[in-house]
Amino acid sequence: MAKITWLDKILGGASPLNQWRVADANETKASVNALYDHIDDMNVGAFAYLTSQATTDLTSLDNTFINGTFTNLPAYGFEAVEVAGEPYLKYTGTKTLFFEIDLHASFSSDQNNSEIVLKISKNDINIDASNCFAFLKNATQAYNASLTAVVSLETDDLIQLRVSRDSSACTLTFQTVTTTIRPFLIPTT
């Protein structure tokens, strides 16, 4: 649909080029309704944060969830759930959408030269595009890292914040962790 301004057409115009017609009104109505459909898509999302500093032991090279107590408010279309003793955010919305997931963390290691990877998983499968590598040179020194990933979610998909190591075993202390999940909408013409 071409963009129409109020000056382009008038109700009593002399020719079809500058006169409002039923087809113009229907086309405008369809565009407005499409806009409202996308507004409904915006009514989902979540914010979560670590309520107090917590430790996560990285004893093997395997991924582990970021340990600690999180507050998950506000959360619309998402709920905190536990599956097999591990915490997740579950998408409860009914429409499959793309979401932008951001993670920001401040953390330290009990070992020098710790190589770790922050990441996000969907249904226990790591989202490779979310991998954020960090090198923690000095033990007990706080480091910061953040990541962004875009992922398609459908009803009952599970999201988890994870960490793994590329070097020797260590214990990470997370001072802060925040994450947001919000619709990733791409405007169309």
Do 158 and 83 fall within a single domain? yes
Quick check: is 87 in a domain? yes
| Contact between 153 and 44 (Cβ < 8 Å) | no
Has residue 1 got a pLDDT over 50?
no
Residue 171 to residue 169: CA distance in whole angstroms: 7
Compare 65 and 62 and report the one with higher pLDDT: 65
Quick check: is 188 in a domain? no
Quick check: is 189 in a domain? no
Do 13 and 80 fall within a single domain? no
Has residue 9 got a pLDDT over 60?
no
**Sequence-ordered list of residues with C-beta below 8 angstroms from that of 137, at least 6 positions apart, any chain:** 112, 113
What domain range includes position 165? Answer: 45-183
The number of distinct structural domains making up the chain is: 2
The closest alpha carbon to 46, from 106, 91, 98, belongs to 91
Do 53 and 36 fall within a single domain? no
Do 69 and 13 fall within a single domain? no
**What tens digit of pLDDT does each residue of 133-164 get?**
999 999 999 999 999 999 999 999 999 999 99
pTM for the whole structure: 0.78
Retrieve residue 167's tokens.
Answer: 């070097």
Residue 186 to residue 168: CA distance in whole angstroms: 42
Average model confidence (pLDDT) across the chain:
86
**What tens digit of pLDDT does each residue of 93-117 get?**
989 999 999 999 999 999 999 999 9
| Contact between 159 and 81 (Cβ < 8 Å) | no
Do 71 and 137 fall within a single domain? yes
Do 108 and 173 fall within a single domain? yes
